[in-house]
Amino acid sequence: MIRLGILTLAGCALILTGCNFEMQSPTETPTLPPPPTLTVTPAATATVTLTPTPEATHTATARPSATPRPSATPPPTAPLTPTATPYAAAGLAYDQWTPVDIPSEVRGGLDRPYFAVVSLNERTGGTSNPDTPVPDTEVETLFLVNPSSGQLIEVLDLPVTTDDRVYWAPDGSKLVYFVEPTLLADGTRAGGLYLLDLTLGISLRLVNIPSLAPRGIPNHQPVWSPDGTQLALALPTAYDVDIFTISADGSNFTNVTQHGAYDLWPAWSPDGRMLAFVSDRSQCPTWVPDEPGSCSALDAAPPTGGNLFVLNLETGSVQQVTEMIVDGPPVWVSNLQVTFTTGLSDPFSAESAIWITNVRAGTVRKVSDAAGVLNLGAAWAPGGQQVIYHEVADPPLIVMRDANGGLIGSTDRFLFPRFGFAAAWSPGGEWVAFGGRNGQCPYGLVVARSTLELVTAATTPGACDPRYSPDGLWLAYAGFQTRAGAADGRLDLFIANPSGYNSRNLTSRLRGEIRLLGWVGKAVSG
């Protein structure tokens, strides 16, 4: 196992001390000194392996069960923080430096697409009964899987409470991960958003934050720019939420929206020139108490949505794109088109709609046709020309439409649970694969052509969360096997051909609970 040691800065010297996955810092509060020069750190390559201590586990977060269980609604989210309550503004921490011994196969980036998984409580012995093992430690292990050879490359050990909150840069040379706030045995307060540079073999804390959900608003995560040089995330300020960017080396921590309203759910355009986000600034110019036009009140709750805006990062100009209220994260499908689904901020909602907008022309078009029903799991083909989604009607349908809302095809052959449908398109748009999600995998892998003509409809293993590799050569999905007619209770990584045939299990040798993160590394040109 690879363990994280501890690297702190004292004067101009780097001093290594021992730890597990926890990281120490000479100070407990984030500061804003000029970032240290990363070129001095490669000499600190040694790591120290110690047995993790119980204090390193954040016991307030329950570990998810490995057994797929149907659920009618998404899991509950943290309570929202009243807006009149001042919040400690997040700042760049740039502390808790730690050396990491990076495997040679992936040091400095990836030469091909790999699939990333984590294995929670990966068990390497020390249990008396392998059929009902008890974890020796509360640790998860991050792996990269070579789809052609099945090779498992062990990258990093993390606290098990990190779960799937690991976010890779597109080229695989860096990643960020979230550690739940925890007090270590030596009194160090760890936790927040950390950056691992695979070239330098250094991990450090970027931002000391208690959650990735600013003020309890869900569906937020850090997002990398397409070229992997910047990271965007929403962070709470004193009375609202702003969007910040950070360079990949941990420098240039910048508030790019800097507004008194709530700016939520940043999304990069494919060319990296623009950020789409949702803001309530048209309704509430500020949430700062006593300022003119302030919407703040002692019993006020944060907004659940706002209008769609686009920030041009080259000019700094901000453009409002929609008049309607958007209550979920936007998704770019081309450099000019952004899609979103409305009506999902209430998990008990009975109606939702799918939209596409041209950010240059300012036009907005409703793509889903049926009213009074839930339209869920929208997955757009490359370039935004087609969309497939789950229409929760009577009977429920899998529907494919073009960008103008024209019907391409539909089928009532598959009955997915509410919020239990996921689909993915191949990079060339010739294939679309779909299955379950949220651990609800009632069918085997299904693959269709761009006309919704079915090509593959497997019966086993049950399939969830299909994803095509960036080069289009592989189709990955979460699957669970059956034994004597019953599910074995564990999701594994399966890899198949683009059409869905010849699938094989690549994580069966692992002994922990598997979480699929996604493809890492760009397609190799030429």
User: Under a CB-based contact definition with an 8 Å cutoff, are residues 228 and 169 in contact?
Assistant: yes
Least confident among 6-20, 82-96, 158-172, 431-445: 6-20
User: Under a CB-based contact definition with an 8 Å cutoff, are residues 241 and 277 in contact?
Assistant: no
Tell me, what's the pLDDT at 81? 55
Average pLDDT over the chain reads 83
Report domain 214-332's class.
mainly beta
Residues sharing a CB contact under 8 Å with residue 317, sequence separation 6 or more, in sequence order: 311
CB-side exposure of 359: number of CA atoms within 13 Å? 26
Tell me, what's the pLDDT at 252? 92
Summarize the confidence of residues 315-338 as an average pLDDT.
Answer: 96
Query: When comparing pLDDT for 364 and 48, which is higher?
Result: 364
Tell me, what's the pLDDT at 63? 37
Tell me, what's the pLDDT at 82? 55
Q: pLDDT tens digits, residue range 200-253? A: 999 999 999 999 999 999 999 999 999 999 999 999 999 999 999 999 988 899
Among 468, 449, 448, 450, smallest CA distance to 458 is for 448
- pLDDT-based confidence at residue 522 (cuts at 50, 70, 90): confident
Domain boundaries, the chain: 1-32+42-50+82-125+132-210, 214-332, 413-526
Q: Is the pLDDT of residue 42 over 50?
A: no
Tell me, what's the pLDDT at 26? 38
Say how many C-beta atoms besides its own lie within 10 A of residue 360's C-beta.
12
Residues sharing a CB contact under 8 Å with residue 302, sequence separation 6 or more, in sequence order: 80, 81, 83, 215, 216, 217, 241, 262
- pLDDT-based confidence at residue 459 (cuts at 50, 70, 90): confident
Summarize the confidence of residues 43-55 as an average pLDDT.
Answer: 34
- For residue 107 the two structure tokens come to 């040091």
Task: Write the secondary structure of 362-415 as one string of H (helix), E (strand) and C (coil).
Answer: CEEEECCCCCCCEEEEEEECCCCCEEEEEEECCCCEEEEEECCCCEEEEECCCC
Q: pLDDT tens digits, residue range 17-30? A: 333 344 433 334 33
State percent of the chain over pLDDT 70.
78
Question: CA 374, CA 351: separation in Å to the nearest integer?
Answer: 4
Work out whether the CA dihedral 396, 402, 407, 410 comes out positive or negative.
negative
Tell me, what's the pLDDT at 249? 87
Q: What is the pTM of this model?
A: 0.81
Summarize the confidence of residues 354-363 as an average pLDDT.
Answer: 94
